[in-house]
Amino acid sequence: MLGMLVLIARRLGQSALVLLVMSLLVFVGVFAIGDPLAILVSPDATPEEIARSARELGLQQPLWQQYLLFLQQALQGNLGRSFAHGEPAMALILERLPATLELAISATVIAIVLGIPLGLWAGLRPRSLSGQSIMAGSILGFSLPTFWVGLMLIMLFSVWLGWLPASGRGPVQSVLGLPLSLGSSEGWRHLLLPALNLALFKLALIIRLVRAGCIEALRQDYVRFARAKGLHPRRIIGVHVLKNLLLPLITVIGLEFGSVIAFSIVTETIFAWPGMGKLLIDSINVLDRPVIVAYLCIIVLLFTLINLLVDLLYVLLDPRLRPSTATPQRAGT
Amino acid sequence: MNAPLLQVEQLDCVVRQAGVLTGDADLAVLQQLDFSLQRGRILGLVGESGCGKSMTGNAILGLLEPPARIVRGRILFDGVDLLQQDEAALRGLRGDRIAMVFQDPMMTLNPVLRIDTQMIEAIQAHHPLPRKQALARAATALAQLGLHDPQQRLREYPHQLSGGMRQRVAIAIALLNQPALLIADEPTTALDVTTQRQIVQQVQALCREQGSALIWISHDLALVSSLADEICVMYAGRIVERGPVQAVLQQPRHPYTRGLIDAAPAGHVPGQPLPQIPGNVPLPPPLSQAGRGCAFAPRCGYASARCGETEPAPPEQAVSATHRATHPATHHATHRATQRVRCHHPLVYSADGATEAITP
Amino acid sequence: MSARELLRGFQRSHLAMAGLSLLALLLLLALAAGVIAPQNPYDLAQLDITDGRLPPGERLGSGALALLGTDDQGRDMLSAILYGLRISLLIGTGSTLLALAIGLTLGITAAWHGGWIDALIMRVADIQLSFPAILIALVLLAVFGQGSDKILLALVAVQWAYYARTVRATALVERGREYIEAARCLALPGWRILLWHLLPNCLPPLIVVATVQVASAIALEATLSFLGLGLPITEPSLGLLIANGFSYLLSGKYWISLFPGLALLLLIVSLNLVGDRLRDLLDPRLQ
């Protein structure tokens, strides 16, 4: 138990270090290379407002003090006001975070629910027609740009078949205090296409991973021993093989969650999904820089948090990494 | 006389090898394999690596996977031909009536499942036993193999155990359902000598106690001689000699067996170079070329022109009826356990058993 | 491995051969765009707004056949696609070659010097690779603004780390080999060993990475252009053509987006097929 605490503490320390480095990078980008007044103060601001902002940002102070001030402000969530919306940039982003998370989590769930069975199927019959077709599909899923697939989905399901709406989020309902689409069938209909679009790359990845892992595991002695024990194939695949696949799978799914959020920028733009990715693109188009900086800070924080969680989860799940009081002992004496 | 527990008859086995230029070819890896085993007896299956020992074990259990497959022969277990059984029937036998342990204890147990999970599933796959009783049986099995604090071991993961402990666990799992036959595929090769001795003794005692027959696959003649009742010497996918362990070891009739015994370090004069069998085990020949001459001929000091042309027939007749009388260790041997050899020029011994000559 | 052996390796796989032929065809079409395209899609004098959004197979006012239809400006889609193919390929290969040169230099430097230079270069590469390429490209474009030079810069910036990593790994292995020792024993100058001995051996894995990277650079450029952050409207790449047609997609005018999309699809898939086969043939671990 103590070993676990030490481990958690060490990982937390590492994450804090990464955050510090990234904050320094953002600071250098905004304050040292760029002109912070041009970046963080609206171009329409009056001279008095500019002067006040310069004071608030501590621009007359040495750089290291400016950095400390920036850090302090960032920690309080104060990263300037959006030029376009007039609201604090951070609040604007956080407001859209639930929509993005809902999309990203739905996509991840779709990728897992479809990817594991398809990957297992292809891994159990690598030479069969079905196995090779799944693999070919996965290669396509890897190489096709997300936006292209999104367009095809809209064309097929919205324009030609008319089954699903092409844009927007539909009605949201408050679930546990968060506004979510999952509460209504109309919400589901709106969520399905963008989630599928976002899921595709991860789906291809999971299929490939599960297939390779399955083929690898089937060659192992423990599978042969499990067969020699007379276990049913269902149990061998479902327990012996799958449990060994779970660790790398969870790592990849976890680590990839960050990139799902990043790629939701594209999907949200195509499907007009009101998340923070679409906000970023809109902000870039109107040069609303405080929002861009705030998005950057949030995404760095998210990535670091995800890495930390995956690390800890991995330790929890892999008995070989778990710090243990029991040490190997010799038998028979 | 009882019918034997296991009877392997004329078993031929091939491995399909994909060739880019030559097309696929079947390699003959087991040829006319023929042996039997009585209930409760211990058979040692010896030979150099690559001669088909492990494949024989896997074939009996129906665990051969493509590209390997059986093309001919019968494997009678308790009078039933295993090769005619469907997968479900075989699954019912595996781990219950016939069990197997493998060579590498580090790889045999699933690294992410606890020992208790891996033991209970082996019981419950065959017997509808409640978890509590299954656990008790598992703990007993672990204790029988000399593992201390079995309750604690059950809650551990494989990586928390040493190699010797893991192999004990694997053997305990194999013996959980008191199988009629245990096939041990070099289970102690990866372990140190002390652990090896203990495990061999424990397995021997347990099999005697449970009445399980045992096939111990090994390249270590000395080990097998301390354990087995009978011995089969394999070379290049064939059984070249078989018989009661004492007879085969004291008066080997096949030049290959002789070579194996002479090459064993035990009992050798220190300082003298260890005699070796020249050359290596040949790769399995394509099926079309199998049976052209004795496979051992290129390495054999006694080979004649005939050896290069025709393969000696599998031995069907007892070579020496006197062995049964002269070797007390084989007093209860049936006719199956008499010494047989697959050779054109088997070694013969003079009456005092010391000198040897070659049949013309 | 000689070029002939490579070609023979390709011939053994039908899929790879199909990819290679398709890629060759697309390259040819792109190179010959100025000759074979029915019209010059950038020459505003040739465009007639009344020809706008003609479905495939209709005739322009001038009587010419619009095989793949026209866009909202009355531009012949086939011509636009041929020219777009050229721009996409140009920016994809251009950025890849540039990134390759930078990554190669940095990677070899890291492997050759070791120590803190190595640590610094590889740490930066690690941090960068831990974020998705699209995010880094977006941030760069947001900071530096838009334009063809900026998008080239962004594409180079997201790619160099792959090459640096690949080169460093290969160079570290090669550096320990006997022939390098032998060259050192001959007291050859360092740069000669680098250039004549180390570099040629680092190339095969780089070629593999580069082939696949061209595909992802093209895909990324198309994505950025689609998001409106890529190339200016005067130089429409395939991505921008698709974006142009997107608003008409919902009203059933599919051809403005679909055909450039198919061209992009064929380009990316053929590059990936060739890259996969190259990896199989050049990676000794897979043989």
Q: pLDDT tens digits for B56-79?
A: 998 999 888 888 888 888 898 988
Residue C267 lies in a domain: yes
Q: Do C127 and A152 touch (CB under 8 A)?
A: no
Q: Do A259 and C252 touch (CB under 8 A)?
A: no
Smallest Cβ–Cβ distance between C261 and the set A148, A166, A296 belongs to: A148
Q: What are phi and psi of A281, to 5 degrees?
A: -60, -45
Residue C192 lies in a domain: yes
Residue B154 lies in a domain: no
Smallest Cβ–Cβ distance between A331 and the set B126, B147, B159 belongs to: B147
Q: What SS3 class is residue B68?
A: strand
- Over residues C79-118, the pLDDT tens digits come to 888 888 998 899 999 999 999 999 999 998 888 888 888 8
Residue B240 lies in a domain: yes
Percent of chain A scoring above 90 in pLDDT:
17
Question: Taking Cα atoms as reference points, which of B325, B330, B318, B326 lies closest to residue B352?
Answer: B326
Between C196 and C260, the more confident residue is C260
Query: For position C1, what pLDDT does the model report?
Result: 59
Whether residue C68 is predicted with pLDDT greater than 80 in this model: the reply is: no
Residue B327 lies in a domain: yes
Going by pLDDT thresholds of 50, 70 and 90, the confidence category of residue A198 is: very high
Cα torsion for B204, B210, B214, B220, to the nearest 10°? -10
Q: Do A148 and C264 touch (CB under 8 A)?
A: yes
Q: Do A221 and B108 touch (CB under 8 A)?
A: yes
Contacts of C272 in chain A (CB under 8 A): 139, 142-143
Q: Do A262 and C254 touch (CB under 8 A)?
A: no
Residue B128 lies in a domain: no
Going by pLDDT thresholds of 50, 70 and 90, the confidence category of residue C285 is: low
- Whole-model pTM: value is 0.80
Of A11-15, A90-94, C261-265, C268-272, minimum mean pLDDT range: A11-15
Question: Taking Cα atoms as reference points, which of A230, A237, A240 lies closest to residue B88?
Answer: A230
C-alpha span between C277 and A118 (Å, rounded): 24
Residue B300 lies in a domain: yes
Assigned architecture for domain A91-272: Orthogonal Bundle (1.10)
Nearest CA distance, A70 vs chain B (angstrom)? 47
Domain count, chain C: 1
Q: Does A332 touch chain B (CB under 8 A)?
A: yes
Whether residue A206 is predicted with pLDDT greater than 80 in this model: the reply is: yes
Q: Find where tokens 């008095």 sit.
A: A48
Query: For position B325, what pLDDT does the model report?
Result: 34
Give exposure, A296-332, as e/b (b: 16+ Cβ within 10 Å): bbbbbebbbebbbebbeeebeebbeeeeeeeeebebb
Residue B297 lies in a domain: yes
CATH number at residue C114: 1.10.3720.10
Query: For position B319, what pLDDT does the model report?
Result: 40
- Hey, of B102, B103, B107, B110, which one would you mutate to test binding to chain A, going by the most A CBs within 10 A of its CB? B110
Query: For position C148, what pLDDT does the model report?
Result: 81
Whether residue C185 is predicted with pLDDT greater than 90 in this model: the reply is: no
Of A302-306, B61-65, B298-302, B313-317, minimum mean pLDDT range: B313-317
Could you tell me the residue range of the domain that residue C202 belongs to? 79-286
Query: For position C113, what pLDDT does the model report?
Result: 82
Whether residue B241 is predicted with pLDDT greater than 60 in this model: the reply is: yes
Going by pLDDT thresholds of 50, 70 and 90, the confidence category of residue A244 is: confident
Residue B205 lies in a domain: no
Going by pLDDT thresholds of 50, 70 and 90, the confidence category of residue A107 is: very high
Q: What SS3 class is residue A108?
A: helix
Average pLDDT, chain C: 82
Percent of chain B scoring above 70 in pLDDT:
86
Query: For position B4, what pLDDT does the model report?
Result: 86
Whether residue B304 is predicted with pLDDT greater than 90 in this model: the reply is: no
Query: For position B214, what pLDDT does the model report?
Result: 92
Query: For position A32, what pLDDT does the model report?
Result: 62
Q: Does C244 touch chain A (CB under 8 A)?
A: no
- Over residues B152-171, the pLDDT tens digits come to 999 999 888 888 889 999 99
CATH number at residue B31: 3.40.50.300
Smallest Cβ–Cβ distance between B95 and the set A229, A246, A318 belongs to: A229
Mark residue B119 as left, alpha or beta (left: phi above 0; alpha: psi -120 to 50; beta: remaining).
alpha
Q: Does C272 touch chain A (CB under 8 A)?
A: yes
Going by pLDDT thresholds of 50, 70 and 90, the confidence category of residue B311 is: confident
C-alpha span between B64 and B85 (Å, rounded): 14
Contacts of C249 in chain A (CB under 8 A): 151, 154-155, 159
Percent of chain A scoring above 70 in pLDDT:
89
Over residues B102-111, the mean pLDDT reads 87
Q: Which ipTM score applies to this complex?
A: 0.84
Q: Does C14 touch chain A (CB under 8 A)?
A: no
Q: Does B80 touch chain A (CB under 8 A)?
A: no
Q: Does A315 touch chain B (CB under 8 A)?
A: no
Over residues C37-63, the mean pLDDT reads 73
The amino acid at C190: G
Q: Which residues contact A246 (CB under 8 A, 6 or more apart)?
A: A317, B112
Domain count, chain B: 1
Contacts of C265 in chain A (CB under 8 A): 144, 148
Between B347 and C92, the more confident residue is C92
Contacts of A296 in chain C (CB under 8 A): 139
Residue C152 lies in a domain: yes
Between B95 and A58, the more confident residue is B95
Residues 101-160 (C) with a CB less than 8 A from some CB of A: 127, 130-132, 134-135, 138-139, 141-143
Question: Token pair for residue B283?
Answer: 């790769």
Is beta strand B42-46 parallel, antiparallel or unpaired with respect to B25-37? unpaired
- Over residues C246-272, the pLDDT tens digits come to 888 777 778 888 888 899 999 998 998
Could you tell me the residue range of the domain that residue B91 belongs to? 6-97+218-265+286-358
CB-based contact B159:A319 (threshold 8 Å): yes
Average pLDDT, chain A: 81
Chain centre distance of CA B63: 15
- Hey, of A148, A273, A289, A299, which one would you mutate to test binding to chain C, going by the most C CBs within 10 A of its CB? A148
CB-based contact C110:A252 (threshold 8 Å): no
Over residues C55-82, the mean pLDDT reads 76
The amino acid at A204: A
Residue C171 lies in a domain: yes
Percent of chain B scoring above 90 in pLDDT:
17
Going by pLDDT thresholds of 50, 70 and 90, the confidence category of residue A110 is: very high
Residue B61 lies in a domain: yes
